[in-house]
Structure 1
Amino acid sequence: MSKSYLSLEFIDKSFERNGVRSEVLSQVSLGVEKGEFISIIGHSGCGKSTLLNIVAGLTEATTGVVFLDGQVVDAPGPDRGVVFQNHSLLPWLTVYENVSLAVDKVFSRKKTKAERHDWVMRNLDLVQMGHARDKRPSEISGGMKQRVGIARALAMEPKVLLLDEPFGALDALTRAHLQDQVMQIHAELGNTVMMITHDVDEAVLLSDRIVMMTNGPAARIGEVLDVPIARPRRRIELATDPTYIRCRSAVLKFLYERHRLVEAA
């Protein structure tokens, strides 16, 4: 049986503290195809970020395995670019230096100094941050910091881009602009993306499929919803689109019913 480009197979994750074992994820299996945009959504504490960290190689699965392009994932690597909700830029470096640090690490033997410079600028231009190349993180807005974080991740040419609620701390207007930009980048690069989100509208707007997690402990995949909306997508037009409304309702229904089950338990 051929594997998907990114394949999560029977992932379990437990943590043990003071002799007490808590099961976070149970038997999570998921295949993601090359170029696909997947969102993972669920209530707080359902292990979404833990799952993303396992794919990133930052957390080890208790049992199960992750394959990316046929290779086992068991440590962090430049084939997976991660963007966290906290931008995690180095405050003493400029915008340019934050991106070039990653580029130099990945491409020091493959690209000349001039090629690396061009590559840094290309990725900053991709997120419309070339004009701010000499500014430090303290001199730019939260939305701009996230753009730089996305540029840094993309500059490593990762096989999959991992987004952990990347717009969660931003105001609504900035969030909308960045969502549109991520859609444009995905259209231009055809990259494979896995995004964690709490936001139903964001998930439907951006995704090819939405993976809905059950509540923890021992969270698993409850449903996977296809979002058969043609691209490019324009948020204003989608507000009255029947498919958008149907997908949005399906996710809300799943989350509401799962939440109600927890309250009733």
Structure 2
Amino acid sequence: MSLSKSMTASEHNQPCLYLIPTLLGDDTQAQSIPPYNLHIIEAIWHFCVENEKSARRFIKSVAPKKKQADLKIEILNKNTPPQEIPSLLSPLREGHSVGILSEAGMPGIADPGAMLVQAAHREGIRVVPLVGPSSIFLALASSGFNGQSFSFHGYLPIDKRERRVAIKQVEQESLRKKSAEIFIETPYRNNQMLEDLISTLNPNTQLCVACDITLPSELIFSASIKKWRQKKADLHKRPAIFIIQA
């Protein structure tokens, strides 16, 4: 079946909520986006986005002929009240497909888009994930750590003492479960996080830092804490994923 026929079937018979992955950085080549994703973006006009400015910039970069003035954009971010989520499904109830765009990467993974996906399932709306980058899974795949058993912890505490306690707890969980433990940090605090990991974790514990994934400045380094103590890395204001395995 051709792409156009496939899309027409979706639009006319069953509107879909599309999870549309975005680029992980401004320097990532738009050519890396699968043709089918581009076709979907060209075909739909309703979008729920984490940030309107970056979403419009992304759409313009991959679909330059699409009229920006005709886009119907709703904001869906961490500040969106839960009671407003059902209203974002209105276009789908009216027969129009909707695309979710995250600030970067895959919607619904460590992302507020999960709230809308859950609401769509409750109403029997078809959810269609498209192929594309997810920094969390790309980091895990490139770490060499356990891809069969892993956990994502989001952000660890900001307070230095509490963060070190959390780091030891995560390390113990990894040791007990023989699992990879994944977390992130606000980019401007990355260096402090790395310092605490190196000073707190056991020398034999493995640490992977995947930074600027898919960008020309990409850094992926996976080694024991003992080896990390011999390495210099500046992660300041660079999107990074941290993974440990005890």
Same-fold status (TM-score > 0.5): no
Q: Report the TM-score when normalising by structure 1.
A: 0.32
Q: Highest CA radius of gyration, 1 or 2?
A: 2
Q: Report the TM-score when normalising by structure 2.
A: 0.34
Higher relative contact order (CA 8 A, sep 6+): 1
